[in-house]
Amino acid sequence: MALILCKKRADTPYFYEKLNLKLWSIQELCYLIFNYPLMVAEDLICDDLVEWISGELSEKELGSRLRAAIEAGEPEQNLLLMILGQGGYYSRQEISSYMDRLMEIGRYERDEYLHAVGVGYYRAGRLEPAYEKFEEASIAADERLRKAQDSKQKESLLRMKADCYLDMAVVRIMLFEDKKALELILRSELFMKSDRAAKMKYLLTGSAELSDDDKKMLDSRKEELKLNILSGHQSEELDRMERKDSVSALREASELLGELKREYRRMI
């Protein structure tokens, strides 16, 4: 990671293995916490991180506060908020919105939580862990589906199952396993048919139950990407997609997949 630094840069980075990241500053640590709350909630805060904060970053006061909070058994989210408050990278309003996100995450069902973690891995480029979490989310949705009484809840869980399979298909296409991806798309349609699945099938096979307008739009989109690549505009497309929220990014990614070459896939 590389952010504009207002505080000390570490001589030795802190390596966060889960997301394969090297952190060099308190600002980068804050960025990680703020943008990946699901990923860091369980295992970011540890003795090694506190030692790195105290030593490499010379944030001795923050290190002491963290140690005291850990010894007192403070919840993990309080420690994350402590770092965000001390880091000076986010405003009070932004930190308040982060607290709201943590509260929302706390209300997730297990399948929703696992799926969201999968999206986090996907955003970080960790494709295999993302696939595993989508698969676990599908299994967890099965457990809730067996107990569901309400028809709306059943429909919501069937949609979750379908989305999990489509997200697994996205990962397989990113790994150039188009045959496996197509199988996953077809499995998703056993639970719920969707425009997303149809568009993915069309981009993979050139055949799907889509309107002529939709086919024309997808064909035009592929041609636009080809022109962007030839013009050297890949970074603009990537930046635009990265500004989207994670779910929209996944959905848009699915529409750009299929018979595209490696350059296209790197843009997703």
In whole angstroms, what is the distance from residue 1 CA to residue 10 CA? Answer: 13
7 in a domain, yes or no? no
Neighbours of 96 (CB within 10 A): 10
**Are residue 86 and residue 165 in the same domain, yes or no?**
no
Q: What is the pLDDT of residues 193-223, one digit of tens each?
A: 998 898 888 888 888 788 888 888 877 877 7
157 in a domain, yes or no? yes
**Are residue 123 and residue 238 in the same domain, yes or no?**
yes
Provide the token pair at 235. Answer: 């970074």
* 267, pLDDT greater than 50: no
Q: What is the pLDDT of residues 163-196, one digit of tens each?
A: 999 999 999 988 889 899 999 999 999 999 998 8
Based on its alpha-carbon atoms, the radius of gyration of the chain, rounded to whole angstroms, reads 21
Provide the domain count of the chain: 2
More confident residue, 205 or 224: 205
More confident residue, 81 or 265: 81
Query: 3-state DSSP: the chain helix, strand, coil percent, rounded to 5?
Result: 70, 0, 25
Provide the token pair at 38. Answer: 């699901």
Angle at 91 between CA 89 and CA 92, to 5 degrees: 130
Helix and strand numbers (H, E) in the chain are: 15, 2
Domain that holds residue 206: 110-266
**Are residue 120 and residue 253 in the same domain, yes or no?**
yes
Dihedral sign of CA atoms 144, 35, 256, 125 in order: negative
* 160, pLDDT greater than 70: yes
pLDDT band at 114 (very low <50, low <70, confident <90, very high): very high
**Are residue 102 and residue 115 in the same domain, yes or no?**
no
Please report the pLDDT score of residue 260 as a whole number: 44
In whole angstroms, what is the distance from residue 90 CA to residue 88 CA? Answer: 6
115 in a domain, yes or no? yes
Provide the token pair at 61. Answer: 């006061």
pLDDT band at 95 (very low <50, low <70, confident <90, very high): very high
Please report the pLDDT score of residue 262 as a whole number: 45
**pTM to 2 decimals?**
0.75
Please report the pLDDT score of residue 211 as a whole number: 83
Q: What is the pLDDT of residues 135-153, one digit of tens each?
A: 999 999 999 999 998 999 9
In whole angstroms, what is the distance from residue 227 CA to residue 194 CA? Answer: 29
Q: Which of 46, 78, 106 is the last residue of a domain?
A: 106
Q: Which residues contact 164 (CB under 8 A, 6 or more apart)?
A: 115, 134, 135, 137, 138, 141, 188
In whole angstroms, what is the distance from residue 117 CA to residue 105 CA? Answer: 11
The CATH number assigned to the domain holding 132 equals 1.25.40
Averaged pLDDT, 103-132: 93
Find tokens 């105290």 and name the residue.
54
Q: Where are the beta strands (DSSP E) in the chain?
A: 14-16, 21-23
**Are residue 261 and residue 183 in the same domain, yes or no?**
yes
Please report the pLDDT score of residue 56 as a whole number: 94
Q: Which of 83, 106, 129 is the last residue of a domain?
A: 106
